[in-house]
């Protein structure tokens, strides 16, 4: 009888060690190495049941067909946008999010929409029984004979059912509950997640079936399991939002078939998720008029301009080290912009606490929001409100100059569509295009010019 080999695997990053260690050398986290038994009698690591596959031969790149495959589209335009135009046949996508955020609801709605197009869909639930899935389907109004539900966690049985039904779309909810019998570790461990994902990828590629797998997230918000899980799949989507708010944001952080900057916005209703086609109105509907520290910026999320409100609160500090807190933007950007305002504009902010927030729970990471943040900080510090009909766009340099931004035409058109009267933007962006007649575009070269124009006296 062969001696069993024991190894210790980090449950966060997948680092393997022959002995136990308190601190993982790979990710520097404590108490994450778990003992696992390395099976040496697995028939084949890459096929369920050990069935041998014929080796493929290399092809000349000029002989490969480069025609685009037709995508499977759903009735949710927001979902299609995030994926780059629809679901690609043979793709493997990973969707993560906090518990109870609506991942299963979203995928069940997508499955029902594809089934209504006469496409067989297999929904595999490893966490709920078929009766629980049926209760959710009744709440969502799902009634389709081509939507099949299976409560199973054994990967071999799942592969057999996929072979029999031959579905056009498969959902695995979730990958942490699926296990392979050849792997001796518990479901959800690094070895199980890695082996099951590898087999699902083989099934998707060889049969041309798109597979969506749900992944649990850690307390930091990252998808649980080894980091290589995100490298194996074709697309990684994050479903974000607050449990106490109705809005949900579907964001792509990896997509081999489209842009990773797209964002889809949904609203949670009693009957399921409903897409929001004009998110700018949602983010601005509760904006206060005539208050200091509030500006509106036109940010690009992929190919779509989104108008959001940036709020700032500046107050005298009671401590030796003033606080700098930011929600929805990079926290390192706030002290940088405050240093520019001190050096180039003359605002004494070194003894002031600063709190910056992007209203609506949106996360912005493009440099075009710099000027709006700086104007919000100066507005709150001077207690001078900004003009409510203004949109402020621009990147701020360390010397106080305003640098050009991309896609200025789309940003201005979105502002004009929502009734704004003036756009303050970099002067370099005024060349080569004509603004709509209903809106005035003002170019500025420095932060001081933007403050002189944008703040009410």
Are residues 223 and 96 part of one domain? yes
Are residues 294 and 251 part of one domain? no
Average pLDDT of the residues of the chain: 87
Q: Is 60 annotated as a binding residue?
A: no
Total of domains in the chain = 3
Nearest to 82 by CA among 110, 57, 40, 48: 110
What proportion of the chain, given as a percentage, has pLDDT over 90? 56
pLDDT tens for each residue of 314-349: 999 988 889 999 999 999 999 999 999 999 999 999
Average pLDDT on 424-435 reads 92
Are residues 271 and 286 part of one domain? no
pLDDT, position 247: 83
pLDDT band, residue 132 (cuts 50/70/90): very high
Q: What is the CATH number of the domain that holds 423?
A: 3.30.230.10
57 domain residue, yes or no: no
Are residues 290 and 260 part of one domain? no
Q: Is 101 annotated as a binding residue?
A: yes
User: Where does a domain end: 218, 244, 277?
Assistant: 277
Are residues 129 and 253 part of one domain? yes
What domain range includes position 357? 282-454
pLDDT tens for each residue of 239-283: 987 656 678 889 888 999 888 878 888 988 888 999 988 888 888
Cβ-proximal residues to 138 (8 Å cutoff; 6+ apart), any chain:
none
Are residues 347 and 437 part of one domain? yes
Are residues 168 and 264 part of one domain? yes
Cβ-proximal residues to 119 (8 Å cutoff; 6+ apart), any chain:
72, 146, 167, 168, 169
pLDDT band, residue 46 (cuts 50/70/90): very low
b/e per residue 39-73 (b: at least 16 CB within 10 A): beeeeeeeebeeeeeeeeeeeeeeeeeeeeeebbb
244 domain residue, yes or no: yes
Quick one: how far is CA 291 from the chain centroid?
Answer: 32
Nearest to 146 by CA among 110, 171, 112: 112
Fill in the DSSP letter of residue 141.
Answer: T
Q: Is 293 annotated as a binding residue?
A: no
Exposed/middle/buried for residue 168 (C-beta within 10 Å: 0-12, 13-18, 19+): buried
More confident residue, 53 or 369: 369
pLDDT, position 191: 82
Are residues 354 and 236 part of one domain? no
347 domain residue, yes or no: yes
SS3 446: strand
Q: Is 205 annotated as a binding residue?
A: no
Q: Is the pLDDT of residue 8 over 90?
A: no
Q: Is 102 annotated as a binding residue?
A: yes
Are residues 208 and 127 part of one domain? yes
Q: Is the pLDDT of residue 55 over 60?
A: yes
Q: What is the CATH number of the domain that holds 203?
A: 3.40.50.300
pTM for the whole structure: 0.76
pLDDT band, residue 2 (cuts 50/70/90): low
Are residues 239 and 127 part of one domain? yes
- The CA-atom distances, in angstroms, between 342 and each of 71, 248, 345, 353, 393 are 52, 38, 6, 14, 20
Instruction: Point out which residues pair with 214 in neighbouring strands.
Output: 95
Q: Is 320 annotated as a binding residue?
A: no
Q: Is 3 annotated as a binding residue?
A: no
Are residues 244 and 95 part of one domain? yes
Q: Is the pLDDT of residue 66 over 80?
A: no
Q: Is the pLDDT of residue 48 over 80?
A: no
């Amino acid at each position: 009888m062969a001696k069993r080999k024991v190894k210790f695997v980090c449950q966060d990053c997948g680092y393997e060690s022959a002995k136990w260690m308190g601190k993982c050398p790979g990710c520097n986290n404590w108490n994450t190495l778990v003992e696992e038994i390395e099976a040496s009698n697995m028939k084949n690591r890459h096929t369920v049941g050990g069935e041998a596959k014929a080796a493929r031969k290399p092809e000349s790149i000029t002989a490969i067909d480069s025609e685009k495959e037709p995508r499977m589209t759903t009735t949710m335009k927001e979902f299609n946008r995030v994926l780059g135009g629809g679901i690609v046949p043979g793709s493997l996508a990973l969707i993560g999010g906090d518990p109870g955020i609506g991942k299963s609801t979203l995928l069940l709605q997508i499955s029902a929409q594809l089934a209504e197009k006469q496409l067989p869909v297999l929904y595999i639930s490893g966490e709920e029984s078929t009766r629980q899935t049926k209760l959710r389907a009744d709440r969502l109004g799902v009634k389709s004979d081509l939507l099949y539900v299976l409560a199973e966690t054994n990967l071999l049985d799942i592969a057999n059912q996929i072979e029999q039904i031959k579905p056009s779309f498969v959902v695995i909810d979730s990958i942490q509950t699926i296990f392979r019998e050849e792997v001796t570790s518990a479901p959800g461990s690094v070895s199980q997640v890695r082996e099951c994902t590898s087999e699902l990828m083989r099934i998707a590629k060889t049969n041309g079936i798109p597979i969506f797998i749900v992944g649990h997230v850690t307390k930091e918000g990252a998808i649980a399991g080894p980091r290589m899980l995100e490298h194996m799949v074709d697309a990684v989507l994050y479903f974000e939002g607050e449990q106490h708010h109705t809005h949900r944001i579907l964001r792509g952080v990896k997509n081999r078939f489209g842009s990773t900057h797209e964002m889809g916005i949904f609203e949670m209703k009693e009957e399921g998720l409903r897409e929001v086609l004009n998110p700018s109105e949602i983010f601005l509907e509760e904006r206060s008029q005539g208050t200091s520290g509030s500006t509106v910026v036109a940010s690009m999320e992929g190919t779509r301009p989104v108008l959001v409100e940036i709020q700032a609160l500046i107050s005298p500090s009671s401590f030796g080290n003033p606080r700098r807190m930011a929600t929805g933007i990079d926290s390192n950007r706030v002290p940088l912009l405050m240093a520019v305002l001190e050096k180039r504009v003359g605002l004494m902010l070194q003894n002031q606490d600063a709190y910056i927030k992007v209203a609506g729970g949106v996360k912005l990471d493009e440099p075009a929001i710099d000027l709006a943040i700086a104007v919000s900080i100066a507005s709150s510090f001077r207690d001078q409100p900004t003009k409510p009909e203004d949109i402020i766009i621009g990147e701020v340099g360390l010397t106080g100059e305003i640098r050009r931004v991309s896609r200025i035409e789309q940003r201005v058109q979105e502002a004009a569509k929502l009734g704004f009267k003036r756009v303050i933007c970099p002067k370099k962006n005024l060349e080569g295009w004509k603004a709509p007649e209903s809106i005035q575009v003002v170019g500025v070269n420095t932060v001081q010019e933007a403050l002189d124009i944008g703040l009410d006296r």
